[in-house]
């Protein structure tokens, strides 16, 4: 889970955690430069969050890592200028290409070269710009750089108490059917949303080709014990009446239209989604109920200064046939857990099917 803070023009700051599978934008979100005027994002961490409730029942998070381990391909001064500035010194690069003048190169870096500069790919072979197969850098090549070099680290990023978490966000790559953002009805529904996470596979996964894989809580490669018990632990957190449960959300920056183009510009414009999440945390009535959760009311997203034209109706559409298939796929997936699947997860799945069928 990444951890970030977002501060509005009034100086009000909130911290959120977000769990995405690898290569789904954690570092980009954690180091975002908001396009929403007057907003500021600071980084606590881009990968791991250790969570606990304090003596007052507030959920707190710390980043146990001393640096960033980001996916290199696609990182550029256009997509993540903060990451680029951070990794330009005192950094270890793995499986990237090398330029003859001592620089580094990967797909999407968008760097121009001086006359006579040549490139050696990650396998040590000569490579020319424009070649697609093989790529210059491995699709899962990385940069490993100290967090202290990042210019937007939050002042509390090393606080031993951790930072107070107002919202937990789940998300993945879903080209079809899944809205830009929706909110869980309650904590149990939020745990179900996290358990039901699915995402198009990336170079960081073992799957070949673009297939939709189950990745509960973005923890599929890392779960160290019984999955059913893990989910029950999440559900049990709300049983302590002292605990102040954060709101839970799901985001999807990667929905595409019929032509295969992204429907949402992403990157700095994702601040608009975070702003809506913060308003929901504050109790603002800016959402409508849908079969899968609360979605923003029409015109609820703040699009001040937004250059891209976005079809909001299509972006937040909840297709009945798609979600009935989603339910069927989740039934097969959860059946693998057997008797250890918490009954609440089964109840949530049944309730989702009923709401979708009634749509």
pLDDT for the residue numbered 206 = 53
pLDDT for the residue numbered 23 = 80
CB 63 within 8 A of CB 157: yes
pLDDT for the residue numbered 22 = 83
**153: which DSSP letter?**
B
**256: which DSSP letter?**
B
pLDDT by residue for the chain (359 residues), tens digit each?
Answer: 999 999 999 999 999 999 999 888 899 999 999 999 999 999 999 999 999 999 999 999 999 999 999 999 999 999 999 999 999 999 999 999 999 999 999 999 988 888 899 999 999 999 998 898 999 999 999 999 999 999 999 999 999 999 999 999 999 999 999 999 999 999 999 999 999 999 998 755 555 567 899 999 999 989 889 999 999 999 999 999 999 999 999 999 999 999 999 999 999 999 999 999 999 999 999 999 999 999 999 999 999 999 899 999 999 999 999 999 999 999 999 999 999 999 999 999 999 999 999 98
Closest by Cα among 209, 274, 218 to 247: 274
Distance CA 50, CA 3 (A): 10
Whole-angstrom CA distances from 6 to 46, 71, 79, 228 are: 14, 23, 19, 34
Kindly report the backbone phi and psi dihedral angles of residue 8, in degrees, each rounded to the nearest multiple of 5, phi listed first.
-90, 175
Which parts of 215-312 are beta strand (E)? 247-251, 287-290, 293-296
CB 94 within 8 A of CB 139: no
**122, two tokens:** 């990650």
284 CB-near residues (< 8 Å, 6+ apart)? none
CB 131 within 8 A of CB 139: no
pLDDT for the residue numbered 210 = 75
> pTM of the full predicted structure?
0.93
CB 166 within 8 A of CB 18: no
pLDDT for the residue numbered 346 = 98
β-bridge pairing 198-200 and 212-214:
antiparallel
């Amino acid at each position: 889970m990444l951890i970030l803070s977002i501060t509005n023009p009034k100086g009000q700051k909130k911290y959120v955690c977000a769990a995405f599978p690898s290569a789904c934008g954690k570092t980009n979100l954690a180091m975002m430069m908001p396009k929403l005027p007057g907003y500021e994002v600071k980084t606590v961490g881009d990968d791991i969050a250790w969570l606990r409730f304090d003596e007052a029942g507030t959920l707190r998070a710390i980043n146990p890592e001393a640096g960033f381990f980001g996916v290199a391909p696609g990182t550029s001064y256009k997509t993540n200028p903060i990451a680029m500035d951070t990794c330009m010194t005192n950094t270890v690069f793995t499986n990237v290409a090398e330029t003859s003048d001592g620089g580094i190169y990967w797909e999407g870096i968008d760097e121009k070269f001086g006359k006579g500069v040549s490139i050696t790919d990650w396998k040590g072979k000569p490579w020319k710009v424009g070649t697609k197969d093989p790529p210059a850098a491995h699709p899962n090549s990385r940069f490993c750089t100290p967090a202290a070099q990042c210019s937007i680290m939050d002042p509390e990023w090393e606080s031993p108490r951790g930072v107070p978490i107002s919202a937990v966000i789940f998300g993945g790559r879903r080209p079809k059917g899944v809205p830009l953002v929706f909110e869980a009805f309650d904590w149990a529904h939020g745990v179900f949303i996290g358990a039901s996470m699915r995402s198009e596979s990336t170079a960081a996964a073992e799957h070949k080709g673009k297939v939709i894989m189950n990745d509960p809580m973005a923890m599929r490669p890392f779960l160290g014990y019984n999955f059913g018990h893990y989910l029950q632990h999440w559900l049990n957190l709300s049983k302590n009446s002292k605990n102040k449960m954060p709101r839970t959300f799901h985001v999807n920056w990667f929905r595409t239209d019929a032509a295969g183009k992204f429907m949402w510009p992403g990157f700095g414009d994702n601040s608009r989604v975070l702003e809506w999440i913060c308003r929901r945390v504050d109790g603002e009535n800016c959402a409508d109920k849908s079969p899968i959760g609360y979605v923003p009311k029409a015109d609820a997203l703040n699009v001040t200064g937004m250059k891209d034209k976005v079809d909001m109706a299509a972006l937040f559409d909840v297709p009945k046939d798609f979600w009935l298939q989603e339910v069927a796929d989740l039934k097969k997936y959860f059946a693998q857990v057997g008797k250890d699947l918490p009954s609440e997860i089964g109840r949530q799945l049944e309730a989702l099917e009923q709401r979708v069928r009634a749509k």
